[in-house]
Structure formats: structure tokens, C-alpha cells
Amino acid sequence: MPKFIPFLLAGLALPFLANAQDSETLTVYTHPSFAAEWGPGPGVKEAFEQQCDCTLDYVVLESGGDILQRLRLEGSSTGADVVLGLDTGTMETARQTGLLTTHNIGLDALDLPVDWNDPLFVPYDWGYFAFVYDTEQLPTPPESLEELVNSPDDPQIIIQDPRTSTPGLGLLLWMKAVYGDQAGEKWRALSDNILTTTKSWSDGYFSLFMNGEAPMILSYSTSPAYHMAIDKTDRYQAAQFKEGHYLQVEVAALVEPSDQKALAREFLQFILTPAFQRHIPLKNVMYPAIDLGDELPEVFDRLIQPEATLFIDPAEVAQQRQVWLDEWLNAMIP
């Protein structure tokens, strides 16, 4: 027992010592699931610091939206060199701030289901939105979005609010990509199946889904990988839908006002190497952005393989988001 007392004291003192170092420091704004003890953050930090002779510091904000908001609030005096944790839903808004600059690195190593040559954003992982279901409650899940929409009021699903959550917005775009102008009436048809709409993914997954409240929840096609590899259970699986699945790409970018641009570019380059990417599959529970070959954990072969990748150009999403949100609201509020 006594051996961890110094450790505890160090924990108390850490906030005051955080800036006491000589070498260069790269500050990365990110969100909790990346920087958490169990996320890829610590491993990535260690690997990068070994090669750069610098210190990598994370500033952890609540979500991708918060990273963007913090950036906007700080403007040109921001302390960030790199932002990591924006996604295809927020990157256009981020582009419009004018606070990001070109990465100037080669993207040939990328292995995404879509073509990617964005000058600002470097993808670091990706995944499909999917409904994860509990095989004990629901032996035969719907095989298509259409089947789910048309089923009277069973199975019940838990979704997240597109106004406050990334997967929530993902489903909104998924419905839009599949149904176009009919999305509104399809939402109305789907609403009988919606048990509730939570503020965040965590609220729904922890409070409701893991308590057995509903057999299905909006999540990622990669979620079962975690349960299979770490929890050692096949109980939770993703339902494969015939229409295809909507793609989410998570990205990093270089911050314009940064005075560490060279180091920041080195980090962005590092993102596309196995030293970074090997931490993604089981720690961020997403697909790596490059081909990891044999290093990709075996459970990833057992995930669903969508027949089609649905993706709406982020610029169009940014332009239409408010209209689509209003359409959703009108459909859901009787």
C-alpha cells in the first residue's frame, strides 16, 4: 500500500508541474475517448515522443463540437498546434473558421472506403454507423433500414439526438442518403420504434442499452469488436442493412496560429504510420486509416462488411444541416 502514496502526491502536484519542461511541446486538442487511459492517446504519446524529442500534451475537451468551439473562442491566440477529433460532420464548420491551415503531407497511405484528398484534414480513423443489437433479446434483427422503418413498433431502438451528438447526426444523414426527400415521412414511420433519444452516445449505451432497456441502439459497426476482443462476449452484434451504411471519418488538422508548424506536420505525418494506427482498432474501436495488414486484430474480420458506403459531401452537409434538422424536428414533433 505505502508504495503508491508518492504517486498520489505526484498526482496532486501534477497540475502545477505540467509546464515545467525544456524541450519543444506539441499541444493537441482532443476529446476524452482518444486521450483516456484506455484510449489510443497514451500509446500514441509514447510512440511519438520517442521519435520527436519533444513533449506531446493533450488538452481534453468534452467532444468534437467542443474542440471546435474552444478553437473559435480562442481565435488567433489559441494554444493548440493540432486539433484531433473533428469528424465529417463538423469539419466544414471548422474549415470556415479560417483557423486551420494546409497539412502539405502525402495521403497515399490512406485506406478509406472513399477517395480523400482534402488539403486541411488528415483522417486518423473511420467507421460505419450501425445499429448494435443484443442477440439475447433479438435473435433476428431487421435486415434493412426499410424493414426497421416499416416494422410496427418492434424492435424498439435507442437513438441519439442529432442536435447534440455525432452518431445522432450520423443517423440523420444516413436517412437522408437513403431516402432523400422522403426522409421526413420515413422518420415519422420510424418514430414508433424509437424508445428514446438521448443527449449523448454514453447516456444511451450505459444507462439504457446495457441495462437491457431496448434490444437495439445506434452505434458503430465496430462496437462489437470491443465486446468480442476485450469483454470476450459475442452477445452484442451490429445489424447489417441492405441499403448500406453511413460513413464517419475522424480527422486531425494543423492550426494556423501555431508556432510549431514543422513539429505539427511531423505529427500529422506520424498519424499515417503503423506506430500511431496500431492503437486505433481496439482502443478507439474504429477502423485504422491505413492498411495495417496482419496487425489488424482478428475480431475485425468478424464485423459486418457493408455492401455500400453512404457518404454525403461534408460541404453539402454543412450547408443543409439546419434544413434537415428542421425537417427531422417537424417529423418527430406531432
Partner 1 sequence: MQRSLSGSFPAPLSRPAWQVLPGLIIASVLLALTLTGLAALVWRAPLPAVSELWENRYLANVIRFTVWQAALSTIISLSLGLAIALALVRQPRFQGRSLLLRIMELSLVLPTIVAVSGLIGIYGRQGWLTTLVGDWTFASWDLYGLSGILLAHVFFNAPLAGRILLQTLESVPSPRRRVASQLGLRGWWLWRTLDWPAIRSVLPALCALVFTLCFTSFAIVMTLGGGPASTTLEVAIYQSLRFEFDFGRAALLAMVQLGICGALWLLVMRRSLTHDFAPDRRFAEIIRRPDCRGATRFRDRALLFTFSLFLMLPLAAILLRGLPGLATVAFEAGDPLFDLANATLRSFAIALPAGAFSVMSGLLILTLASRGRAFSKISSIASALPLMVPPIVLGTGLFLLLRPALGQPSEGLALVALINGLMALPFVTQLLKGPLTALDENTLHQADQLGLLGWYRWRWLHWPRLRRPMALAMAYGTALSLGDFGVIALFGTPGQPTLPVLLYQQLGSYRMELAAGTALWLITMLLLVFAAFNLASHERGQRKRSENTIETLTEARHA
Q: Which of residues 98-157 bind partner 1 (CB under 8 A)?
A: none
Q: 310, 244 in Cβ contact below 8 A?
A: yes
Binding mask 303-322 for partner 1 (x = CB under 8 A): -------------------x
Footprint of partner 1 on 62-91 (CB under 8 A): 62-63, 65-66, 68-70, 72-74, 77
Q: Which is nearer to partner 1, 199 or 302 (CB)?
A: 199
Q: Does residue 31 touch partner 1 according to CB under 8 A?
A: yes
Whether 87 contacts 250, CB under 8 Å = yes
Which residues, numbered 2-21, are part of the site for partner 1 (CB under 8 A)?
A: 4, 7-8, 11-12, 14-16, 18-19
The residue from 262, 308, 315, 329 that contacts partner 1 (CB under 8 A) is 329
Q: Which three cell numbers stand for residue 185?
A: 415521412
Indicate the residue among 9 and 262 with the shorter CB distance to partner 1. 9
Cβ atoms of 204 and 158 within 8 Å: the answer is yes
Nearer to partner 1 among residue 260 and residue 272 (C-beta)? 260
d(CA 145, CA 142): 7
Supply the minimum distance, in Å, between the C-beta of residue 26 and partner 1: 14
The CB-of-107 to partner 1 minimum distance in angstroms stands at: 27
C-alpha cell at 24: 519543444
Q: Per CB under 8 A, which of residues 198..257 are in contact with partner 1?
A: 198-199, 202-208, 210-214, 223, 226-227, 230
By the rule CB under 8 A, 55 interacts with partner 1: no
Q: Does 260 bind partner 1 (CB under 8 A)?
A: no
CA dihedral 59→60→65→67, nearest 10 degrees, is: 0
* Binding residues for partner 1 restricted to 283-302, rule: CB under 8 A: 283, 285
As to burial, measured by CB atoms within 10 angstroms (0-12 exposed, 13-18 middle, 19+ buried), residue 108 is: exposed
**DSSP codes of every residue in 221-270:** TTHHHHHHHTS----EEEEPPTT-EEEEEEEEEEETT-S-HHHHHHHHHH
Beta-carbon contacts of residue 11 (< 8 Å; ≥ 6 apart)? none
Judged by CB under 8 A, the residue of 55, 135, 144, 164 near partner 1 is 164
